[in-house]
Amino acid sequence: MSEKPACSTLKVIPLGGLGEIGLNMMVFEYEDSIVIVDCGLMFPEEEMLGVDIVIPDFSYLLKNREKVTALVITHGHEDHIGAIPFFLREFAVPIYGTALTLALIREKLREHNLLDRTELIQIVARQVVEIGPFGFEFIRVCHSIPDGVGLAIRTPVGVIIHSGDFKIDNTPVDDKRLDIARLGTYGEEGVLALLSDSTNVERPGYTVSEKEVGVTLRNVLREKQGRVIVAVFASNLHRIQQLIDIAREFGRKVLLSGKSMINNVRIARELGYLDFTRDDEISIQDLQYMPDSQVLMLTTGTQGEPMSALSRMAFNDHKKLKVREGDTIILSSRFIPGNERTIQNIINHLCRNGAEVIHEQVKDIHVSGHACQEELKILINVVQPRFFVPIHGEFRHLVKHRQLALSLGMSPANCLLIENGNVMCFGPEEVCTTDRIETGRVFVDGKGVGDVGGLVLRDRRHLSEDGLVIVSLVIDKESHEILSGPDIFSRGFIHEETKPEILYEGQCIIFENIDRQMEEAHELDCALLQEQIRRDLKRFFIRLLDRRPVIYPIVVEI
């Protein structure tokens, strides 16, 4: 990969999804046209206290607003569609996607009151759409949600293949396999660059077929006489279909629990992606009349989300559903890194309620929707790209994927290792890099977008770790007499009733500050007094308790 000052060719710029899991967003720019592929969110990391979701920084697109032409979506997972409502507040462009993907997007836009002002253009696999200087062909892929596509993007400088999220499953539940033949056609024609999903690159071999999970689930349900509750991703419609089929086989009725589960199943049923009749389903009201051996419940909460149906059942907070002895709980998902402790806590509480809990560490009840090493090799060999760019993954995944491409004989100069904000400029025979553009993460907290930054998060961490001390003091403006206080209130620092002597000594320090200022200046400066109180109380608390609470003095003159 050569270094050049600038390139006036095809620009490919990741705004999210490289060096992280989620936040997927890729810009394709040629002259006066920009087309964006995917617009996803990321769920907050542990240190992002109070943050609801994280979305990409749109600064580069805002600076080039007049160029933005369209948004193309590969599939309906949140890390690919979750930021669309925030994007559409700034850009009124059409969105291209498959039927199920657009249905899920439509549901989001309805919640944000954006549906009436947005053009949604439905496409099907192998359809070609011309958008400015680009020709997009949508290529069917197999993933953990139906209707996923990869992209063959015909540009003025050559063909770019964007894999989307994919795996090679030779026995998919819906019989819709990765369109390897179409990818092979492009490989024979000549592909300038392959942008390939790196999520599972650390796993050797091949991804297990989704049907294998169905076999395991069937064996589990065959043995159980009590109620069976399965926590599964609401977007994993293939697994939901298998569970519905198993329920029919063993004479069980299906109860849906959780908002996203109910909504996704409704959408999939309306579009014909699920074979699920009204006779297969029961409501919560029907539950009391059903024998336990005839109940299969599908619920949300695979990652221990606090407000999910499974979490509320585990802690006995659900108004209508209670876990009891004889129930079998199946967590049909993998433990996403960072969620392990929360999930284990849920499992412990479910066990306390008498349930048997089965998860991926006990039985093979989950498979990934992403390609493992051998499948990734197959894609590279079929596409035969001139240049290779690993995308979708943490930095270690990108490094490993590049090494995988090198092991197949690709030139090191043609295997690019880039991160968010790196600008790749492609010509027909070469690629070069330019300066980085502004990228980052925007925090969404409640209705606020971008108003929570590093300083706010630092304060939240400080408050959560060390607590808060508030000092209240009212002084007569003329006589400088104390009218009220000083009162010291502690929250998350010490219990005022168990350690009253500490707060009493704190009050003495405040009196000393007032006396000292009066002796030196013969008047009170409220701003200076507040700063002195903060400084001296901080020293006092560190010396006495080795703690550093947030100290907030309020001194008022009246």
Phi/psi at 229 (5° precision): -120, 120
- The answer to whether 197 is a known catalytic residue is yes
Rg (the chain; Cα; Å): 29
Residue 48 CB neighbours (<10 A): 19
Contact 334, 364 (CB under 8 A): no
Handedness of CA 390, 395, 400, 403 (dihedral sign): positive
Strand pairing category for 228-231 and 328-331: parallel
**Distance between CA 241 and CA 265 in Å, rounded?**
10
Distances (CA, A) of 290 to 158, 326, 331, 345: 61, 15, 23, 30
75 catalytic residue (yes or no): no
Catalytic-role residue among 359, 370, 397, 401: 370
CA distances from 472 to 484, 506, 553 (A): 8, 12, 6
Handedness of CA 391, 395, 400, 406 (dihedral sign): positive
CA angle 211, 213, 216 (to 5 degrees): 115
Spot the catalytic one: 197, 359, 397, 445. 197
Are 370 and 169 spatial neighbours (Cβ–Cβ below 8 Å)? no
Annotated active-site positions, please?
197, 370
